[in-house]
């Protein structure tokens, strides 16, 4: 596959960075993942806006030119379609760069490392609840840091939470804070449906402002379903009629089991089908 590194397109196997890169030594960087289907990207502008915000939050002086990046990302998709197929995710990463010292302070005068590569995504599923078995997830206390709104490349906390779900044979780990409130999942956001109404936790430092979350909020409005961004307790989650997790790679994944608890009737819900069908139609235009 063809990757992008510091201004050049290179075969991925030939891409090289310094071991002194602070992305490697400290996880000092910001990343994005943009999904695309048959060459068309989902949420490109929204991803770029979040990328720029993240870089500003950690004071990496790198200006993202939206149009330039659109061309760059589109080329990573187009040039890799033959090998990767129609469903492609593009990973973009800017780390602070290589410093000669291993010193915590942000160094002056280093050049950020800019990296992008394409990988195969799984094909989108059909918006048919009878054809979808639903997924199961683990549940754990959120033990990550308190800056989860920043899409940092330092993902060890998320990785450790995700690994729990792997060990338990589940698709993800849903997380709750000290107060027993759902924050998000290790690599996705969470929605519930109760009595025909949708709920998702409000944006704050405890969760990533997911682009899919943002698009799903739009789709709920288009579908005429009332939605509220408000605190969801573990009890409310377990008593929900439907639970979904959302991310660029998973789109909207319906959950039918959380830990040992069955959600609703244990089948994928009607509202998922309705909203996912709107999402499937609207995702390229929102
Ligand atoms: N929350 C976390 C911790 C994530 O890592 C991700 C994406 O990977 C998401 C939520 C979903 O964000 P998006 O919809 O922008 O992919």
What pLDDT, on the 0 to 100 scale, is given for residue 266? 98
What pLDDT, on the 0 to 100 scale, is given for residue 64? 87
Q: What is the CATH number of the domain that holds 7?
A: 3.30.470.10
pLDDT band at 48 (very low <50, low <70, confident <90, very high): very high
Dist. CA 169 → ligand 1 center (Å): 21
Ligand 1: atom nearest CA of 33 is 16
- As for how many domains the chain has, the answer is 2
Give yes or no for residue 13 having a pLDDT over 90. yes
Quick one: 141 and 276 in the same domain? yes
Spell out the residues 6+ positions from residue 25 whose beta carbon is closer than 8 angstroms to its own: 19, 102
Q: What is the CATH number of the domain that holds 155?
A: 3.20.10.10
Q: Residues enclosing ligand 1, CB less than 6 A?
A: 33, 158, 184, 187-189, 208, 210-213, 246-248
Helix orientation angle between 44-57 and 66-84, rounded to the nearest 10 degrees: 120
- Look at residues 64, 89, 120 and tell me which one is the last residue of a structural domain: 120
pLDDT tens, 89-110?
999 999 999 999 899 999 999 9
Query: Structure tokens of 110?
Result: 């280093």
- E strands along 121-250, which residues? 135-141, 173-176, 182-185, 189-194, 197-200, 227-229, 242-247
The H helix count followed by the E strand count for the chain is 7, 15
Q: What is the mean pLDDT of the chain?
A: 98
Dist. CA 184 → ligand 1 center (Å): 9
Ligand 1: atom nearest CA of 189 is 10
| Whether 273 contacts 133, CB under 8 Å | no
Average pLDDT of span 256-284:
98
Dist. CA 108 → ligand 1 center (Å): 31
Could you tell me the residue range of the domain that residue 141 belongs to?
Answer: 129-282
Residue pointed to by tokens 């000669």? 100
Q: Would you say the ipTM is above 0.90? A: yes
pLDDT tens, 194-203?
999 999 999 9
SS3 of 41-56: the string is ECCHHHHHHHHHHHHH
Quick one: 241 and 190 in the same domain? yes
Quick one: 134 and 96 in the same domain? no
* 151 a catalytic residue: yes
Active-site residue among 40, 63, 126, 151?
Answer: 151
Q: How far apart are CA 126 and CA 268, in angstroms?
A: 13
- Look at residues 101, 120, 139 and tell me which one is the last residue of a structural domain: 120
Nearest CA to ligand 1 atom 4: 187
The neighbour count for residue 104, using CB atoms within 10 Å, is 9
């Amino acid at each position: 596959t063809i990757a992008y590194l510091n201004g050049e397109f290179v075969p991925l196997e030939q891409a090289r960075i310094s071991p002194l890169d602070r992305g490697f030594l400290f996880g000092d960087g910001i990343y994005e993942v943009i999904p695309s289907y048959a060459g068309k990207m989902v949420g490109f502008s929204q991803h770029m806006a979040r990328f720029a915000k993240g870089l500003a939050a950690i004071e990496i002086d790198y200006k993202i030119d939206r149009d330039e990046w659109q061309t760059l990302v589109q080329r990573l998709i187009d040039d890799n379609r033959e090998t990767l197929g129609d469903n492609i995710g593009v990973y973009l990463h800017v780390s602070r760069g290589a410093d000669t010292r291993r010193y915590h302070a942000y160094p002056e005068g280093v050049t950020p490392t800019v990296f992008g590569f394409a990988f195969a995504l799984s094909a989108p599923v059909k918006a048919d609840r009878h054809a979808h078995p639903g997924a199961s997830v683990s549940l754990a206390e959120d033990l990550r840091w308190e800056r989860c709104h920043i899409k940092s490349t330092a993902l060890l906390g998320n990785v450790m939470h995700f690994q729990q779900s792997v060990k338990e044979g589940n698709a993800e780990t849903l997380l709750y804070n000290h107060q027993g409130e759902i924050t998000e999942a290790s690599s996705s956001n969470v929605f519930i449906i109760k009595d025909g109404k949708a709920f998702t936790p409000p944006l704050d430092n405890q969760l990533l402002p997911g682009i899919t979350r943002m698009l799903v909020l739009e789709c709920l409005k288009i579908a005429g379903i009332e939605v509220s961004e408000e605190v969801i307790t573990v009890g409310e989650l377990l008593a929900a009629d439907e639970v979904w997790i959302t991310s660029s790679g998973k789109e909207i994944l319906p959950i039918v089991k959380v830990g040992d608890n069955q959600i609703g009737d244990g089948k994928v819900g009607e509202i998922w089908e309705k909203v996912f069908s709107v999402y499937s139609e609207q995702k390229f235009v929102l």
